[in-house]
Amino acid sequence: QVQLVESGGGLAQPGGSLRLSCAASGSIFSPYVMSWYRQAPGKQRELVAGISSGGTITYAAYVKGRFTISRDNAKNTVYLQMNSLKPEDTAVYYCKFTRVGVRYDYWGQGTQVTVSS
Q: Is the peptide bond before 14 cis (omega within 30 degrees of 0)?
A: no
**Per-residue pLDDT of the chain in tens (117 residues, 90 and over written 9):** 999 999 999 999 999 999 999 999 999 988 999 999 999 999 999 999 999 999 999 999 988 799 999 999 888 999 999 999 999 999 999 999 999 988 889 999 999 999 999
For 65: left if phi > 0, alpha if psi spans -120 to 50, otherwise beta; the answer is left
Which secondary-structure segment (H or E) carries 106? strand 105-107
Residue 75 dihedral angles phi and psi, to the nearest 5°: -105, 0
Cα–Cα distance, 114 to 44 (Å, whole number): 17
Note the pLDDT of residue 2. 95
